[in-house]
Amino acid sequence: MDAAEWKKLLGDWKLRVAAYQTAQYQKASHLEKLHYRLGVPATIFAAIAGTTAFTNLAKETFSFKAQITVVTVSVIAAVLTAVQTFVNYGQRAEKSRAVSNQFGGVRKEIDILENFPPPSDQEMQAKLQALNKEITDISKDAPIIDAPRRQDYGGGGPGLIMLHK
């Protein structure tokens, strides 16, 4: 592989890695918003249900309206909390953010390799193979990006470009 070929290969990898980094970061931001949109109402309803139940326990009689209100708010709080636990937006956002950071590290490695190439073709080949393995390993563990988002960033499947001998 001559210098022109590896420069083109590194340029292609850099574009794709940047696309995956951006897509994972945007996915993390989206999931984090969903986490708060679900978590805040769940917390509010749980607080209302608990406070209302405690307040009504102090009274000797429960009005039917108060009982219905406490039950309704409690059910809403329980459902929202169960959904929040099931979809786990917070953990999923953190995973996407971590993968985005890993792709950012790969971009820096590509920049270094482009600007300070090793002296021999064999060393370059070894570095390209190691970089290809790193990209593939990150991609294997990366959360799936929705098809429309993947197309927006020029991505294809989970891997990038395979290095051919």
Q: What pTM, to 2 d.p., does this model score?
A: 0.75
Report pLDDT for 68: 84
CA distances (Å), origin 99, targets 22, 27, 46, 105: 10, 11, 34, 10
Q: 142: left (phi > 0), else alpha (psi -120 to 50), else beta?
A: beta
From residue 108, give the alpha-carbon distance in Å to each of 13, 72, 111, 123: 12, 53, 5, 18
pLDDT tens figures, 53-68: 777 666 666 678 877 8
| CA 19/CA 27 separation, integer angstroms | 12
Residues of the chain with pLDDT under 70: 56-62, 147-165
